[in-house]
């Protein structure tokens, strides 16, 4: 029992301050406006304040903070990507995550458990090697392992997947972690608020005011706010925001679904992903199996769950772990993933001056929360994108300079 809990027992009053103020009336003007109170938006606000002293910032969230994909993802953090640009970027994020609990003074339950991407075919093994080689080159701990090493980390796994899809090997990624996703949003909100950032929940942006190619303000359901710097960090709602400023992106929206089991005594200590079986699974500190699958195959702006998804996922989970047949699924849900053609994000400046975009996060946004916040804050403060995110610029699509993460991102959570 840590001594820090003593104060709660000794006090009748709950001796804990608010995480963030209850802001309801926005001011007329801010130095920067951030649309979207998810992890990314809140992190950007935090780093604007911390790294650049820009604290006159409003974060506008149409629902509640962390209520979008921040609270819907399966919380996996990793950096075993395919392109050197991707690996460097996500590795920077992993390194920030490792000290983030201490920095934000909140326990994020950042738990490094190791991450296996299972390969069931020779061609999957080739891709694993490709990723391993690129990772090693950049200095990230990933390597190809055989079935024995997988079984050592997870002896319960049926390596033949019930005879349906025998596992030939895996890409092992030692830094692979899980974290308490909501707490990431809360932690950034707390510290940003402490430095003066104002967070407005239930505040919806209804229009963005652009004059002579420059952003001058946003319309909201709580009135007009003028600002020359506006960041959109709204994941699945990106097309609605970009429409407001009249820029086009190649983003399409696909639902991404996940589900969680009843709690059971923890037994699964690693994170397992199978591209062929479209499964990723880890076990939370509450004892629930957190399970997800690949994107829904169709474009749709909806967070309704489908039976089809949970049937397919369950079938594959039972292939991998035949003994889980009577373990029960408690809850399923969906998020809206903003997908780019090359499965890499869109970050940085846009043709509209002062309008910045943090989008295209598809199924890989949570793991990039700290680094995206930091780099977008720098982009906004200096009006120039840092080197680390240059290859994620919006203009790459018309320049045919794609950052091909398809092989690493499409199912590998």
Partner 1 sequence: MTLRIAEKKGEWINRDMPLTFTYEGQTVEAFEGDTMSSALWAAGIKVLGRSFKYHRARGVLSFANHDVNALMTDGVDTNIRADVIPVSHGMELFAVNTEGGVVKDKNRFIDRLSPFLPVGFYYKTFFKPRMMFPFWENKIRKAAGLGKVNFDYPRQLRPKRNAHCDVLIIGAGPSGLSAALTAANHGKQVILVDENRYAGGSLGYDHAADSSTSDKLETLLKQVSEHSNIRLICDAYAGGYYGDHLVPVVGKEGITKVRARSVIVATGAFEQPPVFRNNDLPGVMLGSAAQRLVHRYAVKPFHRGVVVTGNDHGYRTALDLIAGGVEVLALVDMRQQSGDEQLAAAVASKGITIHLASCIYEVIPSSDKLGVAEVVLAGYDEQTASARLEHSSRIACDGVAMSAGWAPAAALLYQAGTKMRYDYAVEQFVPAQLPEGVFAAGKVNGVYDLALRLRDGQRAAADAVRYLGGQDVEQIEVTQSFQLAPSHAYPIVHHPDGKNFVDFDEDIQVKDFINAAKEGFDNIELMKRFTTVGMGPSQGKHSNMNAIRILARIRQLPVEQIGTTTARPFFHPTPLAHLGGRGFHPHRLTAMHEWHVNHGGVMMEAGAWMRPAWYQPQGAKLTAQQAVQQEAMAVRNAAGMIDGSTLGKIEVFGQDAGAFLERFYTGKFADLQFGSSRVALLLDEAGVMVDDGVAARLAEDKFYVSTNSSNAATVYREMQRNLQLWGMSVTLVNLTGAMAAMTLAGPASGSILTELTELDLFEEAFPQGAIRTAEVAGVQARIMRVAFVADLAFEIHVPSSSALHVWQKIMKTGQPFGLRPFGTDAQRLLRLEMGHHLISHDTDGLTNPFEAHAGGLLAMDKAFFTGQRSLQILAAKPVKKQLVKFVLDPGFSAELPKECNLVINAGQITGRVTSIAYSEYLNRVIGMAFVAPDQAANGQQFDIRTDDGLLVKARVVQGSFFKLSAQ
Contacting partner 1 within 20-49 (CB under 8 A): 20-22
**186 scored as a contact of partner 1 (CB under 8 A):** yes
By beta-carbon proximity to partner 1, the closer residue of 199 and 357 is: 199
Please work out the total of residues on this chain that contact partner 1, with binding judged by CB under 8 A: 96
By beta-carbon proximity to partner 1, the closer residue of 70 and 379 is: 70
By beta-carbon proximity to partner 1, the closer residue of 133 and 383 is: 133
Binding mask 366-395 for partner 1 (x = CB under 8 A): ------------------------------
Q: Which residues contact 202 (CB under 8 A, 6 or more apart)?
A: 61, 62, 63, 64
Contacting partner 1 within 199-218 (CB under 8 A): 201-202
By beta-carbon proximity to partner 1, the closer residue of 16 and 211 is: 16
| Distance of alpha carbon 228 from alpha carbon 178, whole angstroms | 37
**9 scored as a contact of partner 1 (CB under 8 A):** yes
- Taking alpha carbons only, the member of 79, 82, 152 closest to residue 112 is 79
By beta-carbon proximity to partner 1, the closer residue of 16 and 212 is: 16
Q: Is 293 helix (H, G, I), strand (E, B) or coil?
A: coil
Question: Considering only residues 26, 37, 39, 66, which one is a binding residue for partner 1 as defined by CB under 8 A?
Answer: 66
Radius of gyration of the chain (CA): 21
Tokens 């075993």 correspond to: 80
**8 scored as a contact of partner 1 (CB under 8 A):** yes
Buried/exposed 241-267: b ≥16 CB within 10 Å, e otherwise: bbebbeeebebebbbbbbbbbeeeeee
CB of 379 to partner 1, least distance (A): 25
Spatial contact of 199 and 191, defined as CB atoms under 8 Å apart = no
Q: How many CA atoms lie within 13 A of 17 on its CB side?
A: 9
**249 scored as a contact of partner 1 (CB under 8 A):** no
| Distance of alpha carbon 279 from alpha carbon 177, whole angstroms | 17
CB of 343 to partner 1, least distance (A): 8
CB of 312 to partner 1, least distance (A): 8
Give CA 99 to chain center in angstroms.
17
Could you tell me the CA-to-CA distances from 132 to 141, 300, 364 in Å, in that order?
8, 34, 19
Tokens in use for 17?
């301050």
For the beta sheet containing 289-292, the strands, ordered from the edge strand earlier in sequence to the opposite edge, are 142-145, 169-173, 115-119, 271-274, 279-283, 289-292, 252-261
Question: Considering only residues 330, 382, 384, 387, which one is a binding residue for partner 1 as defined by CB under 8 A?
Answer: 330
CB of 267 to partner 1, least distance (A): 6
Task: Give the number of other Cβ atoms within 10 Å of residue 381's Cβ.
Answer: 17
Question: Considering only residues 228, 239, 263, 386, which one is a binding residue for partner 1 as defined by CB under 8 A?
Answer: 263
CB of 257 to partner 1, least distance (A): 11
CB of 99 to partner 1, least distance (A): 7
Question: Considering only residues 207, 266, 301, 383, which one is a binding residue for partner 1 as defined by CB under 8 A?
Answer: 266
Question: Considering only residues 146, 196, 322, 351, which one is a binding residue for partner 1 as defined by CB under 8 A?
Answer: 322
| Distance of alpha carbon 130 from alpha carbon 44, whole angstroms | 33
By beta-carbon proximity to partner 1, the closer residue of 1 and 211 is: 1
Q: Is 222 helix (H, G, I), strand (E, B) or coil?
A: coil
**351 scored as a contact of partner 1 (CB under 8 A):** no
**195 scored as a contact of partner 1 (CB under 8 A):** no
**333 scored as a contact of partner 1 (CB under 8 A):** yes
- Burial zone of 176 (CB within 10 Å; 0-12 exposed, 13-18 middle, 19+ buried): buried
Question: Considering only residues 52, 67, 219, 222, which one is a binding residue for partner 1 as defined by CB under 8 A?
Answer: 67
Question: Considering only residues 170, 183, 234, 394, which one is a binding residue for partner 1 as defined by CB under 8 A?
Answer: 183
**400 scored as a contact of partner 1 (CB under 8 A):** yes
If phi over 0 gives left and psi between -120 and 50 gives alpha, with beta otherwise, what is residue 182? alpha
CB of 277 to partner 1, least distance (A): 10
Spatial contact of 405 and 365, defined as CB atoms under 8 Å apart = no
Binding mask 278-317 for partner 1 (x = CB under 8 A): ------xxxx----------------xxxx--xx-xxxxx
By beta-carbon proximity to partner 1, the closer residue of 128 and 245 is: 128
Contacting partner 1 within 113-172 (CB under 8 A): 121, 123, 126-127, 129-130, 133-134, 137, 144, 156, 162, 164-165
Give CA 54 to chain center in angstroms.
24
């Amino acid at each position: 029992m840590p001594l820090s809990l003593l104060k709660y027992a000794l006090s009748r009053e709950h001796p804990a301050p608010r995480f963030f103020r209850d802001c309801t009336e926005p001011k007329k003007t801010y130095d920067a406006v951030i649309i979207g109170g998810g992890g990314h938006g809140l992190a950007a606000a935090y780093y604007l304040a911390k790294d650049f002293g820009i604290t006159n910032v409003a974060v506008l969230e149409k629902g509640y903070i962390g209520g979008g994909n921040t609270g819907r993802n399966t919380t996996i953090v990793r950096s075993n990507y395919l392109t050197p640009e991707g690996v460097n970027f996500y590795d920077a994020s992993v390194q920030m995550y490792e000290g983030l609990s201490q920095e934000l003074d909140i326990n994020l339950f950042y738990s490094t458990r190791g991450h296996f991407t299972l390969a069931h075919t020779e061609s999957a093994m080739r891709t694993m090697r490709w990723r391993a080689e690129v990772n090693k080159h950049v200095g990230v701990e990933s390597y190809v392992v055989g079935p024995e090493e997988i079984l050592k980390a997870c002896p319960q796994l049926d390596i033949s997947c019930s005879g349906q899809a025998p596992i030939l090997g895996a890409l092992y990624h030692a830094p692979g972690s899980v974290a308490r996703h909501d707490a990431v949003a809360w932690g950034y909100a707390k510290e940003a608020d402490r430095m003066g950032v104002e967070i407005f929940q239930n505040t919806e942006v209804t229009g963005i005011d652009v004059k002579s190619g420059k952003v001058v303000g946003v319309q909201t359901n709580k009135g007009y706010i003028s600002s020359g710097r506006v960041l959109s960090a709204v994941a699945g709602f990106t097309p609605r925001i970009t429409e407001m400023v009249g820029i086009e992106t190649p983003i399409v929206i696909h639902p991404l679904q996940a589900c969680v089991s009843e709690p059971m005594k923890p037994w699964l200590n690693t994170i397992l992903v199978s591209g062929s079986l479209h499964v990723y699974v880890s076990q939370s500190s509450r004892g629930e199996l957190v399970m997800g699958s690949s994107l829904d195959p169709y474009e749709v702006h909806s967070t309704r769950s489908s039976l089809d998804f949970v049937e397919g996922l369950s079938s594959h989970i039972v292939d991998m772990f035949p003994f889980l047949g009577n373990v029960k699924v408690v809850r399923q849900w969906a998020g809206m993933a903003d997908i780019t053609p090359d499965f890499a994000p869109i970050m940085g400046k846009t043709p509209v001056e002062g309008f910045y975009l943090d989008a295209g996060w598809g199924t890989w946004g949570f793991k990039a929360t700290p680094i995206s916040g930091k780099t977008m804050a720098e982009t906004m403060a200096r009006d120039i994108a840092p080197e680390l995110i240059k290859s994620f610029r919006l203009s790459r699509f018309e320049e045919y300079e794609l950052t091909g993460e398809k092989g690493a991102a499409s199912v590998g959570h």
